[in-house]
Structure 1
Amino acid sequence: MTVAGESTNAEEGDGKLKIETFDDILPHVGEAGLYQLLLFLILLPFTFVYAFLYFTQFFLTLIPNEHWCTVPELSGWNLTDSQKIALSIPLANPLENEDQSVATFSKCEMYDVNFTEVMLSGIKVANTSWPVKPCSNGWTFNFTAIPYASIAAELEWVCDKTYLSSTAQSAFFIGSIIGGFIFGYIADHYGRIPALVSCNAVGFIASVVTAFCNSFWSFCLARLIVGTSFDNCFNILFIITIEYVGPKYRTLVANMSFGIYFAVAASLLPWLAYWIADWRVLSVVTAAPLVVAFFGPWIAPESARWYIMVGKTDKAIEMLKKFAKVNGKTVTPKIYEEFERSCKEMIEKDDKVNKYTVLDLFSLPRLARITIILVIYWLLIILVFDGHVWNMKLLHPDVFTSFSLAALTELPAAFLLALFLDKWGRRWMGFASMFMCGVFSWIALATPEGTVTVAMAILARLGVNVAANIGFQYAAEMLPTVVRAQGVSLIHIIGYFAHIIGPYIIYLADVQKELPLISLGVVAMVVAFLTLTLPETLDQDLPETLQEGNDFGIDQNFWWIPCRSSSQKNRKKDRKKMGSVNAGFNPGSLTKIDSTRL
């Protein structure tokens, strides 16, 4: 990248003007000015959309811990719930006693007797020798802790139907895979803004339709369609924003925008659910921010890099001129002319390297190993993240407070990343965060049930939040340029399968109540040590060719920590590819051409 001093001299005629990349022209039009601030603010509603789509289904399918078989014969008698339970419900069996709920009675069985005769005979307490049978007339729920009946409660997805809630959540993420291809195609062929508008429109309509669902299959179909908008509903505009921010500000903008907005949205959502106390209304209310996307063409700019990718360099320059005007910058025509020339050269170069496919990542042994590790690394991080989200149902009866506090960990995670990621590096910070996640997952097992356990689980959630945000950009910096976008897309698409599996983690508690946290701790430790097998990308020239990708980091010492090393071999002050810093932050399948190269 051309440094500022050199660019200034070039303008003054003291040297040859040299603008080779998109990031070279950003200092001229403003790389962190008023326009970038406006983009930062525009991200707010889209981040809320992202958080709401991700977590709303948790509250749409929330079921109270206390529920028991309904006995219609007892409804005509003047009995309290406690009296009905004492007369008609047996004690929990050994398997149910493994559950962490406060109930000591069975949730899925009732006594098999004639309760009309029992009441007429004056019996008030059940005889434990009575035969039992599964619930045959539905269930009654205690809505004290959860003040509304979710669709799961209405349709009674309990006992042998408990898995239906997780299956519906899996349908949501299957939709995400489908949507990644559909809206990725639209983004590549018709532009990022059309993809943003169409994606959010689908999410809005399907979220409203969700409120009218009255069966498992209709709910699954609606959530699958909502899922097609997940990720792209936010990531398209997020990538555009990061593209227009100067390299040295990207770590700050990427982490702070996502961290602040996402933390606020995710921590607010439980209380929306609590105050609204109606799952149908909640589905509509959480869809409301999606309406902002309909104004996308008027409030958000098209990606200048996409304009260049499709050969519309004049449109890109027109966009940059608007930026310069808003930021109060004066740019000479020579700068735009040099930029246009460089873009044309880059497009010609891209035409020559477009022969590469994602399969080329496996053509060289070390590059193949790095790719496979990155896939497993991301897959396991998502598994741990989703596992901790869904495990909140098992940790404490006040799920609203617990969920809200856990969601707020996104904020300190963002601050930690903004302060230390470009000092400590991706590798050791990723290791430390997942090691922390594993340790606190296990400590939670040794603490008394209740507030302390939840606190330990929240600290574990903080660790995986930090690691997930690091993982967003790790692959984008490590894979070679010629297949970077395709490689990142592959990794994120495979990561969706972890989203599908994640909700089922909580059913390990049916075997033994400690198993979910034990499993999450083990997987977190595996990810922590897996991170150390990857090379460090901080302050490194990023690989361009397949061979460079194969050799990347081969000369790095295992114990090298960037902030403590003075080795010029591993720490380069003048990084040739400065544009790579966070430019590939969670790009998904939206780019065919590497956004750091233009």
Structure 2
Amino acid sequence: MRSYPQCIAFLGQFGRFQQIVFFLLCISIVPNGFGAFTLIFLADTPSHHCRVPDVNLTENWRGAIIPVRVVDGKTQRSSCSRYRMDVVRNLSDLGYSPDQDVNLTTLEEETCKDGWIYSKDIYQSTIVTEFDLVCDQKWKKPFTTTIFFVGVLIGSFFAGQLSDKCGRKPILFVTLALQTIFAFIQVFSVSWVMFTILLVINGLGQMSNYMAALVLGAEILTGNVRLLYSSLGTCSGFAVGYMLLPVCAYFVRDWKNLLLVLSVPCLAFFPFWWFIPESPRWLLCQDRVEEAEAIIRKAAKINKVQAPGVIFEGYVAKATTDPKEPHSILDLVRNSNIAFMTVILCYVTFTMSAGYYGISFNTTQLHDNTYLSCFISGAVELPAYVSSWLALRYVSRRLSVIGTLVLAALKAYFMQLVPEGYSSLSFLLEMVGKYAITTGFGLMFAYTTELYPTALRNTATGICNTVAQIGSCITPYLLELRSYAKFLPYIVLGSLAVLAALATILLPESFGRPLPDSMQDIRKRERIKCPCMPQAESPVTVVLMDNAKA
């Protein structure tokens, strides 16, 4: 029986049909770019201080009632306390001056009982100013980011399996709808609790949409076009969305209007339903040969080529004579070798995710202009994805992934050597790390689709992406380690990257091999030798160990 690429070779690799699929899927990924980082602006904390009620105070006392602190060698007004109002009022009524008659350091302080005044130099409003997520409530800010990624994690776990059962196309559009609709509803949040609940539901569709689009395109396209799409195409769509975010946020400084600007235009993606087909590979895997042939015949008309009388020769007979092999998530851990490889792959993707989001969210802290730093951080991804595409075409997968992890680790360790005050050098090093980890991320996405059989492709990528999202969930708290030691987050991320590079040595290679369609295709591959386990296992060992890459 001929392979899928051989059956559809008459279509060519990049005719009009493939171009439509390629570009529409890439465009559908754009919302993931700004959706993942919207909280950089929605949840930023402007400078603030205690509100002073409109009471009978002299101008001198009104200006002096907020204590002055020295933070990192700089003086600034306290954000969470003020001198006691009753004491200050009495001193003001008695005619005492804060400049001459009173030692302010002896006065008792109190919390901001009347709320806060927030600077509007950068933002008109954020969820922090809307729901007062400061001082004793500041724990809610990193928790908000974490809860979003918890939604992403849950969505990744279930969407991958649903995609293998229900199809790539339905899950693609359902998850896109989740992002669009619930981002819009968030505008009407009346409390932080309501906002976070809606944020979790929004997160359910975030990476799930990306993975569904990635797998769908990788299964429809063939040859070098598939490599181009899986690396440069999908990732560039994400990067474009990433760069659009700070541009929109620069002109729209109110959090509610920003959500509207980012969500409402996404309604234009839903007519894509009539132009993007279901994956013929998946349909064949489900023994729905006639539907797969109908899609390819329509593609032949679009490409203006003649389709043969029987396109998938041998598939019809196989569908009627061979029992359908059941697959489940348990196929990833059927034996010790497969389980070992699954753990390694999950750890590598976990490290990639923690490093990627850690650098992305930290970049805005290294430059005075949040909008510019976010835009540059997104723009760096474009050459990174070009590099991942070139690496996929010409370099071993393992060698490429190891190289990006080592470069990211070196950057993390070198950050500690930058002298105080050299913010430009720190920012440059951060962008080198962003380039390295983004290149690795692009490689991992494409690598994953090459390693899994069609029946398990989305399930396996979903599981690995689920574990990866644990890395993104801990990122906000990982960055909080700066309060204990400035460079502690870099040391942690660098160490994780070194261990991941060593673990990658044990992963299988897929460079130059065809995309597997079945478990039988995987079983033909050579055994991957694991130094920790006996080598007398069945060839099935090799099979799914490949699979766990996301």
**TM-score if structure 2 supplies the norm length?**
0.86
Report what 1:397 is aligned to: 368
Instruction: Say if 1:186 and 1:194, in contact at 8 Å, map to a contact too.
Output: no
Whichever residue aligns with residue 110 of structure 1, its letter is R
Report what 1:468 is aligned to: 441
Report what 1:21 is aligned to: 3
Report what 1:270 is aligned to: 246
- Cα drift, residue 418 of structure 1: 1.6
- Cα drift, residue 238 of structure 1: 3.4
1:62 to 44, 47, 50: 44
How do 1:77-476 residues align onto structure 2 when only pairs under 5 Å count? 78=59, 86-92=64-70, 97=72, 104-112=76-84, 114-119=87-92, 120-124=95-99, 127-144=104-121, 146-180=122-156, 183-184=159-160, 187-333=163-309, 335-336=310-311, 339-345=312-318, 349=322, 351=324, 353-354=325-326, 357-447=328-418, 448-476=421-449
Taking only the aligned residue pairs, the percentage that are identical comes to 23
Instruction: Say if 2:160 and 2:459, in contact at 8 Å, map to a contact too.
Output: no
Alpha-carbon deviations, 1:95-140, whole Å to 9, x = none?
Answer: x549xxx664433333335233344423248622323333333222
Instruction: Say if 1:473 and 1:584, in contact at 8 Å, map to a contact too.
Output: no
- Distance in 2, Cα, partners of 1:385 & 1:195: 25
- Distance in 2, Cα, partners of 1:481 & 1:327: 25
- Cα drift, residue 184 of structure 1: 4.8
SS at match of 1:20: coil
Unaligned runs of 5+ residues in structure 1 are: 1-18, 557-579, 587-598
- Distance in 1, Cα, partners of 2:456 & 2:352: 23
- Cα drift, residue 166 of structure 1: 2.1
Describe the shift of the 1:90–1:344 C-alpha distance in structure 2 as closer, same or farther (beyond 3 A): farther
* Residue 509 in structure 1 maps to residue 482 in structure 2: yes
Report what 1:494 is aligned to: 467
Tell me whether 233-242 or 377-386 shows the greater mean CA deviation. Answer: 233-242
Describe the shift of the 1:350–1:163 C-alpha distance in structure 2 as closer, same or farther (beyond 3 A): farther
1:52 to 34, 40, 54: 34
Instruction: Say if 1:56 and 1:286, in contact at 8 Å, map to a contact too.
Output: no
Instruction: Say if 2:175 and 2:209, in contact at 8 Å, map to a contact too.
Output: yes
Alpha-carbon deviations, 1:329-371, whole Å to 9, x = none?
Answer: 22221x42xx1432542685561x32x5444544443333222
Tell me whether 398-407 or 164-173 shows the greater mean CA deviation. Answer: 164-173
SS at match of 1:211: helix
Instruction: Say if 2:342 and 2:548, in contact at 8 Å, map to a contact too.
Output: no
* Residue 554 in structure 1 maps to residue 529 in structure 2: yes
- Cα drift, residue 485 of structure 1: 5.0
Whichever residue aligns with residue 118 of structure 2, its letter is F
- Distance in 2, Cα, partners of 1:327 & 1:425: 33
Instruction: Say if 1:90 and 1:111, in contact at 8 Å, map to a contact too.
Output: no
Describe the shift of the 1:366–1:195 C-alpha distance in structure 2 as closer, same or farther (beyond 3 A): closer
Instruction: Say if 2:48 and 2:116, in contact at 8 Å, map to a contact too.
Output: yes
Describe the shift of the 1:454–1:76 C-alpha distance in structure 2 as closer, same or farther (beyond 3 A): farther
SS at match of 1:233: helix
Unaligned runs of 5+ residues in structure 2 are: 532-543
- Distance in 2, Cα, partners of 1:75 & 1:324: 82
- Cα drift, residue 35 of structure 1: 1.5
Describe the shift of the 1:555–1:208 C-alpha distance in structure 2 as closer, same or farther (beyond 3 A): closer
Describe the shift of the 1:312–1:247 C-alpha distance in structure 2 as closer, same or farther (beyond 3 A): same
- Distance in 1, Cα, partners of 2:470 & 2:63: 41
- Distance in 2, Cα, partners of 1:366 & 1:182: 25
Work out the number of aligned pairs and report it: 528
Instruction: Say if 1:50 and 1:230, in contact at 8 Å, map to a contact too.
Output: yes
Whichever residue aligns with residue 439 of structure 2, its letter is V
SS at match of 2:49: strand
**TM-score if structure 1 supplies the norm length?**
0.80
